[in-house]
Amino acid sequence: MKKIGRYFCTLFALCMFGGTAKAEFEPIIFIEAGYASLKYKTDELPVFLKSYNSYQTTLTQQFGLKLPAARGPYLKVGIGVGATCKMILDFTIYNAKSQPLSARFGDGTGRDIWVEHRLSNTNIGIRFGGTKEIPVWAQFNMNLAVQNSSLYFAYVYPDGSLSLGTERTLSGIYSNFNLAGGFGVAAGIRLLGPIGLAIGVDRIGVFERKKSIEYHKYSDLNNVKPDMQPDYIPRDMATYVSDPFNSIENSIGNDFRGWKFTAGITLSLGDWEAN
Amino acid sequence: MRKFIFIFSAIVTTAFVSCDKGDMEIKKLNRGEGTWTIESIVVEEYDSTGINRTGSTTRTDLGEFVFFKETTLSALFDEHFVTILIPDTSGVISGYTGGVYYDDSRVKIDCDPAPIVGGIVSLNGVWTVHDNGRRNQTWTMYILDNNATLATKYILEIKKK
């Protein structure tokens, strides 16, 4: 990882001085909107799911242990300076939600759990191509993001309706945020005037994975009088039931990381002119 | 060019930082005058198994929510509030004001004393938001009996005024 970082920094410096030294200097501004798929993995959540499955012995359908990829829209705005080699700075908001994992009892009741990731991402990149003469471009990215992950833990009633209320133990939304970052590549092509297509893939890691960050339920409800309920997702259900207010060493943390795939439509001004 | 990049970064960063979820979502409720009418409340009763519905009652024209944001110099945080206006059988309107939290999936209402609509349903508590539209919303709350089985389900429909 360090080697990649050093290589990237060198390339970045060369691009800044080499690219911008040319007489031809094309600042661009672009907006991109599209769809992202966050194929993340977590080691912490399956610990809880396994424990829940073994504690609830009457389940007719147990939780699966792997959350599906979270998918949702993103919006990016950015600028670039340089010539055929540009320095790019962009900001992106992602909002992606996964399909639920389900556990059911014989009477139709049960639990659903799903995750929502909200990322505010700042990216510095180096773009090759994408000029008035060259309609295609490729880009190396270095990301830094505030990643807010929320685990939705809903109770399912026999009529199929979901409740995130406080009437059942564990129900609610458990959230926290951490600092995430990584490297990636992107590519694009200008198709119709300033409008083009862009795709990208990034490897996203979290900086504090070894120091697990707990999810908490009521951090967002504290502006209103909080209820006295345990506000963490346990590693061990039996311990949680016998001693619910003791979260020490019995709470899972947020360690979502993995691959982020994007595809979108881009509107870029500055690298295109009408004939 | 440097000045342009700096201004651009400052604007975008400010815009992104200000997109705090809790603050952003509740704008859906308190935008404009923040007034929503309580269109109806459905009260579903369940038997002792919590599975079979034994009855359902629908009440309409129950009052109004007025959502608003109040910032005071002494407050540590911006606070969101709601005033619930409920008419009694003779048409006299009582107002209940308290804190509110909304995140598009849940809404928490906390007034003292508790606002009672339709003569029986307390609006205090955490509701699950099933329809989070800008003009119409549907919230549900589930009440359990002493054996932790479902006793009553409330379905509240509100409409932007």
Q: Give the pLDDT band (50/70/90) at residue A25.
A: low
Mean pLDDT of all residues in B74-78:
56
- The count of residues in chain B is 161
> From the candidates B147, B150, B153, which should be mutated to test the interface with A, based on the most A CB atoms within 10 A?
B150
Query: Can you give the pLDDT at residue A23?
Result: 43
Q: Is A107 on the interface with B (CB under 8 A)?
A: yes
> Given pLDDT bands bounded at 50, 70 and 90, which one contains residue B118?
confident
Nearest residue, CB atoms, A224 vs list B50, B110, B153: B110
CB distance B1–A152 less than 8 Å?
no
* Touching B: A residues 207-226, CB under 8 Å: 220-221, 223-225
8 A C-beta contact, residue A217 and residue B105: no
> In this predicted structure, which of A6-15, A28-37, A183-192, A194-203 has the lowest mean pLDDT?
A6-15
Q: Give residue B62's pLDDT band: very low, low, confident or very high (50, 70, 90).
A: confident
Chosen for mutation from B71, B108, B154 (greatest number of chain A CBs closer than 10 Å) is B108
> With the CA atoms of A215, A217, A219 and A223 taken in that order, what torsion angle do they form, in degrees rounded to the nearest 10?
170
Residues of chain A in contact with residue B13, where contact means CB-CB under 8 angstroms, are 91
H or E segment to which residue B116 belongs: strand B116-117
Pairwise CA distance, residues A12 & A127, whole Å: 10
For residues B106-127, give the mean pLDDT.
88
Quick one: residue B118, left, alpha or beta (phi over 0 = left, psi -120 to 50 = alpha)?
left
Among the ranges given (A156-160, A217-221, B90-94), the one the predictor scored with the smallest mean pLDDT:
A217-221
- Per mean pLDDT, which range of A144-148, A205-209, B73-77 is the poorest? B73-77
Nearest CB to B142; choose among A167, A225, A227: A167
Q: What is the mean pLDDT of residues B89-111?
A: 89
pLDDT for B13 beyond 60: no
Q: Which of A223, A225, A269 to mutate to test the interface with B (most CBs of B within 10 A)?
A: A223
pLDDT higher than 60, residue A82:
yes
More confident residue, A18 or A136: A136
pLDDT band at A8 (very low <50, low <70, confident <90, very high): low
Contact A165 B125 (CB under 8 A): yes
**List of chain A residues whose C-beta atoms are within 8 Å of the C-beta of residue B127:** 165
pLDDT classification of A161: cutoffs 50, 70, 90: very high
* pLDDT value of residue A16: 53
Cα maximum dimension of chain B = 72
How far apart CA A137 and CA A127 sit, in angstroms, is 7
Q: How far is CA A178 from the centre of its chain?
A: 11
Contact A162 B125 (CB under 8 A): no
Beta-carbon contacts below 8 Å between A and B: 86
Query: Of the candidates A34, A220, A94, A166, which has an alpha carbon nearest to the alpha carbon of residue B25?
Result: A220
Q: Is the pLDDT at A220 greater than 80, yes or no? A: no
More confidently predicted of A74 and A13: A74
The C-alpha atoms of residue A35 and residue A48 are separated, in whole angstroms, by 30
CA-nearest of A66, A150, A64, A75 to A110 is: A64
Q: In whole angstroms, what is the distance from residue A46 CA to residue A63 CA?
A: 9
| Rounded Cα distance, A269 and A274, in Å | 11
Q: What is the pLDDT, as a whole number, of residue A178?
A: 82
A133 vs B37, higher pLDDT: B37
CA–centroid distance for B4 within its chain: 42
Confidence at residue A28, expressed as pLDDT on a 0 to 100 scale:
87
| Peptide bond before residue B113 is cis, with ω within 30 degrees of 0 | yes
Contact partners, residue A17, CB within 8 Å, separation at least 6: none
Closest CA to A15 of A121, A78, A89, A77: A89
Nearest-angstrom CA–CA distance, A103 and A188:
42
Q: Which of B5, B101, B140 sits opposite A224 (nearest CB)?
A: B101
pLDDT of residue B9: 57
- Stretch among A196-205, B2-11, B112-121 having the lowest mean pLDDT: B2-11
Instruction: Report CA-CA distances (Å) from B79 to A169, A225, B100.
Output: 28, 12, 8
Mean pLDDT of B140-153: 93
Q: What are the beta bridge partners of residue B138?
A: B131, B157
Q: Are strands A195-206 and A85-97 parallel, antiparallel or unpaired?
A: unpaired
pLDDT at A231 over 60: yes
In this prediction the ipTM stands at 0.85
- Chain B nearest-CA distance from A148, in A, is 10
